Amino acid sequence: MNSYRVAVFASGEGTNFQSLVDAAAQRKLGGASIELLICDKPAAPAVARAEKAGIACYTFLPKEYTAREDYERELVALLEQKSIDLIVLAGYMRLLSSVMVDAYAGKIINIHPSLLPAFPGKDAVGQALAYGVKVSGVTVHFVDGGMDTGAIIAQRVVEVQEHDTADSLSAAIQAVERQLYPEVVGRLAQGKIHLDGRKVVSLP
């Protein structure tokens, strides 16, 4: 049986990347293997995490390219060379163009710190607190080229405490993210999640 090969895109600390690496090491990722980290910031802590885990890492500087389509063509070629089955966006702070989205339609997922469609885009936690919501949460969704508009795979609720700050609510949400993301990747690897138009079908 061939391994289900995963590439993770990250831009920052890499905590969700680390949770996936740890789950794979503990054989809790449904047979998936983390084959590659792609990072648009060579000095990001995520890169050091990949090096420590012995995972191949490809870094690039977007400003060296005329357009994002240019570097995405290089990335698609690299992903195809590595026979990647799934792209996992884990704190990757760039919108993908049609070059990437079309090449890997239905094979790119993202995690977002709100209960979409509420509070898409940047600073979802700040948006939620400013609005005064009583619950927030985490959404894992397929990527379709829009801003957090893809079909929803899974959601978990996080209660907003009366005295929550952006930092405290972010910490609570991130703790849930680190549990939910490996679960979703594992289920995808096992063929238990299927995309049918806007609807995601989840098997037992």
Q: Cα angle at 134 between 128 and 135, to 5 degrees?
A: 75
Give the whole-angstrom CA distance, residue 102 versus residue 95.
13
Q: Is 112 a catalytic residue?
A: yes
Rounded to 10 deg, the angle between the 15-25 and 166-189 helix axes is 40
Pairing of strands 152-159, 135-142: antiparallel
Pairing of strands 135-142, 199-202: unpaired
Q: Collapsing DSSP states into helix, strand and coil, what is residue 30?
A: coil
Is 19 exposed, middle or buried (CB count within 10 Å of its CB: 0-12, 13-18, 19+)? Answer: buried
Pairing of strands 56-59, 86-89: unpaired
Selected catalytic residue, list 112, 141, 163, 194: 112
**Cβ atoms within 10 Å of 98's Cβ, excluding its own:** 11
Which residues have C-beta within 8 Å of that of residue 5, sequence separation ≥ 6? Answer: 32, 33, 35, 82, 83, 84, 85, 86
Give the whole-angstrom CA distance, residue 46 versus residue 13.
5
List, by residue number, the catalytic residues: 112
